[in-house]
Structure 1
């Protein structure tokens, strides 16, 4: 019997690619970069169950808007629905959360790459859309000043 372990599922969270210093040798499989935000060709997905807790429904809906969902297969969406259902049961329980159930739920959420740390361990980075900030002034007045000052 052979046991295969996926690389990068344990240990410290790797730095984002732009924060890494060493660039001459990759330390694992190729980095996958994807656009942040909802995928262009998202499948038709069922709406959250009306009986789910609002937090579970929000989590499920947030996956539709997340960049990693571009890589989801139908089985991943089925797992996401299952996780949202279990999450809802935990949140609606009068006895409070069960530690083992919460740990299992976190594992399912991790396998769906729902946190940045999970995505970095899987060597996936989402490019965030940078908001359009104020337009910077042209440097030509500074260049004119340098020409006049003899600098």
Structure 2
């Protein structure tokens, strides 16, 4: 199991994850962490997942995004990340990720506009869906 904490940037090391079958990434945003850092963490993971070779064994990837949002908040920051989700889709639909069977993205807490967020996110993962990869988007309270 790899634990990565602190600030990540373009010069951060690349993880060697080709032989790992199941990856779970927990992204936590507290009141002291800016949403831009969350975005950069996803970019860092896209970079690492893009660096796998054609013998990649990854079958399942789970992203758990935990934010300190009030449940009554209507706008979710991930609504503005459409480009990020499309890049994640491109990366995960690569021929190098042929073993990938399931991608799960879970948000906590569930916001009032969850149905809108989920519908907009689903539109950004068309390549994965075409390949028959299971996409699970969920939110918990």
* TM-score using structure 1 length: 0.23
Structure number with higher helix proportion? 1
Structure number with higher strand proportion? 2
Higher relative contact order (CA 8 A, sep 6+): 1
* TM-score using structure 2 length: 0.24
Q: Which has the larger radius of gyration?
A: 1
